[in-house]
Amino acid sequence: MATVATTHFADRLADAIERKRSQLVVGLDPRPDLLPVELRGEAQLGREDAAAACDRFCRGLIDAVGPYVVAVKPQVAFFEALGAAGIKTFEDVCAYARAAGLQVIADAKRGDIGSTARAYASAFLEGTPPLADALTVNPYLGRDSVEPYLAACRRHGVGIFCVVKTSNAGGAEVQDLVLSDGRPVWQQVAELVDEWGQELTGERGLSAVGAVIGATHPRAVGEARKLLPRSVLLLPGVGAQGATPGDVARAFTSGPASALVNVSRDVIYAFRGSEMDWRSAAAAEASRYAREVWAAAGW
């Protein structure tokens, strides 16, 4: 049974990273059309059967990668696509991962204001125990849209990761726009995230307010590290999107627990290019990425 998160999110993360010598997060993006053959047949029978197949897939992945990762990052959209049964599967997968001793980062990228933001914070970050240890949040609506999540961090020992600089090419259309002082927009957002997180710094010197920085922009990773000295950087884009562990080395200058590298497709669908079964293939890739990221981090 998962226990209530009573300690600071970043402190729990740092403990797990040092114990496992891993900064790897595996994204859980279950797509019924890409499931292993033994599960794909079920997934074609309807939403409830597809949700059940995705549940088995995610649980198998958690068992397989558990020794090599500190967290999993279920992408909420893939579960929502399966309707009510998918939402139930999402909840069950989160509970299963937490019971296995992993941190759960719900990748929902929520962003709204007022009572809506408070409802999102309640849905993901409050409860006994909370559904997730951390949530990805869109901060581009400003401080009042983020405050309900900050309040949840203060009360429940959870964390958030604010989307600052994304790995997709289109993100530059907004995030790289130049302000009157010559800085890009994303750097202004990074400074706000640093400000919001100062009061939520744990015993390890890291804040419960982290930031999502695309690993496909190595220069931005280094710049973000300087702007966000206390934040845990969540770095998507390694693997299928083209970034390598070496591209994110500069993210770790604030310590071995100051960044997390997320890999999704290259791990969970590794069996598609392998002769191993899907669990063994995922375990092998997770182990390899964990070693390479740890080596690149230099700790």
The residues annotated with a catalytic role in the active site are 109
- Residue of 193, 195, 204 lying closest to 8 (CA atoms): 204
SS3 192: helix
259-263/233-235 β-pairing: parallel
Locate 296 and state its tokens: 């690149």
Place of tokens 């907004």: 174
User: Do the Cβ atoms of 24 and 290 come closer than 8 Å?
Assistant: yes
What is the Cα–Cα distance from 120 to 250, expressed in whole angstroms?
A: 33
User: Do the Cβ atoms of 210 and 153 come closer than 8 Å?
Assistant: no
User: Do the Cβ atoms of 146 and 196 come closer than 8 Å?
Assistant: yes
What is the Cα–Cα distance from 32 to 263, expressed in whole angstroms?
A: 19
User: Do the Cβ atoms of 130 and 91 come closer than 8 Å?
Assistant: no
Q: How far is CA 135 from CA 41, 165, 255, 287, in A?
A: 32, 16, 22, 25
Cα 97 to the chain's mean position, in Å?
13
What is the Cα–Cα distance from 292 to 200, expressed in whole angstroms?
A: 30
What are the b/e assignments for 277-291, b being 16+ CB within 10 Å? ebbebbbbbbbbbbe
